[in-house]
Amino acid sequence: MSPYKRAKKEETIKPLKKMLSIEVGSVKDSFESLQSMCNDKANELIKTVEVEPGEQMQVEFWTEDIPEFIGVANISVNHAGLITYSMDYSETTL
Give the residue with greater pLDDT, 9 vs 45: 45
Residue 10 maps to a domain? no
Residue 69 maps to a domain? yes
d(CA 21, CA 35): 15
Residue 65 maps to a domain? yes
Burial of 79 (0-12, 13-18, 19+ CB in 10 A): exposed
Name which of 61, 76, 88 is nearest 15 in CA terms: 76
Residue 2 maps to a domain? no
pLDDT tens digit string along 21-31? 999 999 999 99
How much is the pLDDT for 64? 95
Q: Is 90 exceeded by the pLDDT of residue 50?
A: no
Residue 4 maps to a domain? no
Residue 6 maps to a domain? no
Residue 61 maps to a domain? yes
> Domain range holding 46?
15-88
How much is the pLDDT for 91? 94
Q: What total of structural domains would you count in the chain?
A: 1
Averaged pLDDT for residues 5-31: 72
How much is the pLDDT for 53? 85
Residue 19 maps to a domain? yes
Give the residue with greater pLDDT, 2 vs 21: 21
How much is the pLDDT for 9? 47
